[in-house]
């Protein structure tokens, strides 16, 4: 009797197509990788394309720690129209002539939305309010408020400003932008808030995520490419790319494997998750410094 082949472990960097939910991509990958043990780090809206990091088998243990890293996006913001969802998926709720908005005013509005800011997420989002997803409340017509939360927009650049005419004949402006931000930042909320600041309304019409932490779009593969050849980044390589590396000797590796909390070098204090490797280059665990000792976050070897 032939035994079932063991599915490989690793990260898969997918170039998500538009129109797919992140869950749709996971479902498709379960078929491609022939395993149910697949998760993703950092959801992308159905309209958005680009980098979606999936973990297969043991690599799923890395995902929660990867989700907290910095993200980079390219997008298009339309000034002159608000929508229910703050993006092109939702119906238009208001229109205003944006043709008189100056580049100086746009730059000033963008500057206010750069740095450490308080952001109110879009109502049609996956955030839970009292245990119920915000989009569910919004679709049921509920009136509710989402509290603002701190996010960091380390870079918000406008590359191009294009005159356009909306379907209803309203003169609008389309801004081509790039954003580098912390996890949990909504780019469509930036579009909404920029439009509000300029007094004409705004929403996101296109979005492409080009980076999640160290994983960039040039290493991403489409679902069709992955169907033809499953390209996976081994867990050890993925951990080395994303976290500081701590090489331990054979004795410490043995102690760590036996559940002993190792003394951690001061250099890793406050560094967040650290990847531990034995002398043979085996990835042992993801740990973080806690009272000078290595507290295990996830064990691999």
**Catalytic residue ranges:** 45
Gap between the Cα atoms of 188 and 165, Å rounded: 20
Instruction: For the chain, list the strands marked E by DSSP.
Output: 10-16, 38-41, 49-56, 71-79, 81-83, 92-95, 115-119, 128-129, 132-133, 149-165, 171-181, 202-212, 215-216, 245-247, 274-277, 283-290, 293-299
Placement of tokens 């993925």 in the chain: 238
Is residue 81 within 8 Å of residue 95, measured between CB atoms?
Answer: yes
- Determine the Cα–Cα distance for residues 200 and 214; give it in Å rounded to an integer: 36
CB atoms within 10 A of CB 36: 10
- Residue ranges of alpha helices (H) inside the chain are 22-33, 60-66, 103-112, 134-139, 187-197, 223-228, 235-242, 250-257
The helix-helix angle for 103-112 and 187-197 (nearest 10°) equals 130
């Amino acid at each position: 009797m032939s035994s079932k082949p063991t599915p490989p472990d690793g990260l898969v960097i997918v170039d998500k197509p538009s129109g797919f939910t992140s869950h749709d991509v996971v479902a498709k990958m379960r078929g491609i990788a022939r395993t149910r043990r697949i998760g993703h780090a950092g959801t992308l809206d159905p309209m958005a394309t680009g980098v979606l990091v999936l973990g297969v088998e043991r690599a799923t243990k890395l995902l929660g720690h990867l989700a907290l890293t910095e993200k980079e996006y390219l997008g298009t913001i339309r000034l002159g129209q608000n929508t229910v969802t703050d993006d092109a998926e939702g119906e238009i709720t208001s229109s205003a002539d944006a043709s008189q908005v100056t580049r100086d005013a746009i730059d000033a509005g963008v500057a206010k939305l750069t740095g450490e800011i308080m952001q109110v997420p879009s109502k049609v989002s996956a955030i839970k309010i009292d245990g119920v997803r915000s989009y569910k409340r919004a679709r049921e017509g509920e009136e509710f408020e989402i509290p603002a939360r701190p996010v960091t927009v380390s870079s918000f650049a406008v590359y191009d400003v294009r005159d356009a005419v909306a379907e209803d004949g309203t003169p609008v402006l389309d801004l081509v932008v790039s954003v580098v931000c912390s996890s949990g930042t909504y780019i469509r909320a930036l579009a909404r808030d920029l439009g509000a600041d300029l007094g004409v309304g705004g929403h996101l019409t296109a979005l492409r995520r080009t980076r999640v932490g160290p994983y960039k779009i040039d290493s991403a593969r489409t679902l069709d490419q992955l169907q033809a050849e499953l390209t996976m980044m081994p867990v050890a390589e993925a951990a080395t790319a994303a976290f500081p590396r701590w090489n331990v000797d054979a004795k410490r590796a043995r102690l760590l494997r036996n559940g002993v909390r190792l003394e951690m070098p001061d250099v890793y204090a406050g560094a967040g998750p650290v990847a531990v490797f034995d002398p043979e280059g085996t990835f042992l665990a993801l740990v973080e410094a806690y009272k000078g000792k290595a507290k295990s976050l996830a064990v691999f070897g």
